[in-house]
Amino acid sequence: MTDTPAKHALNDEPIDDEIAQVLRLVKYPANKDAIVDAAREAGVSNDVITVFDGLPEQDYTDANSVEQLLGSNGGPGISI
């Protein structure tokens, strides 16, 4: 029984919107943990938190550097 469809693809617009919302809130430079914390504070879906939690452990200079990495992982990229 699958009553609730799972939304894990980055090309789902609600997820794109939430990702863009988080990337606008983060104070850069930021590491992965800071981005995940910002996502939790923003109250976004667990799917979005999972996307950010899958980022490599590194420092990100701006939202574009995060977006490019997310786009290179099979998604279309996020418009912010």
| Average pLDDT value for residue range 27-52 | 97
Q: Which of 16, 50, 15, 56 is nearest to 32 (CA)?
A: 56
Tell me the residue range of the domain where 21 lies. Answer: 13-72
Q: How much helix, strand and coil, in percent to the nearest 5, is found in the chain?
A: 50, 5, 40
**pLDDT one-digit tens code per residue, 6-35:** 444 445 678 899 999 999 999 999 999 999
Predicted TM-score (pTM) of the model is 0.75
Residue 7 lies in a domain: no
**pLDDT at 72 > cutoff 80:** no
Asked if the structure places residue 35 within a domain, the reply is yes
Output phi, psi for 31, to 5 deg: -95, 175
Tell me the mean pLDDT in the region 44-59: 96
| pLDDT number for residue 38 | 98
Number of separate domains in the chain: 1
CB 49 within 8 A of CB 66: no
